[in-house]
Structure 1
């Protein structure tokens, strides 16, 4: 669980990032979660975009991420900023 100070730090780091995953009509599947986990192992902090044709609610998607052990740092409109500490390539040092 991240503290408020850590979330604020991660939000500032994510400001310049572009979304690298899109969740569309099919919703959030196990395959997408696995791909996001691989990307998080390499980058630790990414943005995920939820398309207009996605039938799932953004809060349900955020809850699914948290169930998978992925921290949701921020939800802005249809963009989720997610973080997971890398086991091998730790790049971000949290305050």
Structure 2
């Protein structure tokens, strides 16, 4: 089952530009994607909308696969993966901050 892309290429590019300036706020290590990690991501997405995550070398996880799994579990949108970092986006329900161009 393929996910339907909610963002256009232009919108994705805009978010990539924003993500450029942010530092990773979480990391995935040996224990991989835990329930606690997903809760942390949900909180972070609600607060920030755009979140960058660092996949540690010792996790032995593929960054892109991990990003897509985290995006699926948090109902977020996968934006990009570069090296061992990835970015996901989900608009805040209570307090949307990022204005995405139409």
Tell me, yes or no, whether TM beats 0.5: yes
User: How many angstroms apart in 2 are the aligned matches of 1:30 and 1:60?
Assistant: 17
TM-score between both structures, scaled by the size of structure 1? 0.93
Question: Which of 78, 82, 87 is residue 81 of structure 1 equivalent to?
Answer: 87
Tell me the number of residue pairs that the alignment of Structure 1 and Structure 2 aligns. Answer: 95
**What corresponds to 1:90 in structure 2?**
96
TM-score between both structures, scaled by the size of structure 2? 0.87
Runs of 5+ unmatched residues, structure 2: 1-5
User: How many angstroms apart in 2 are the aligned matches of 1:21 and 1:72?
Assistant: 16
**What corresponds to 1:20 in structure 2?**
25
Runs of 5+ unmatched residues, structure 1: none
Moved over 4 A (4+): none
CA RMSD of aligned residues (A): 1.0
Counterpart of 1:53 in 2: which secondary structure?
A: helix
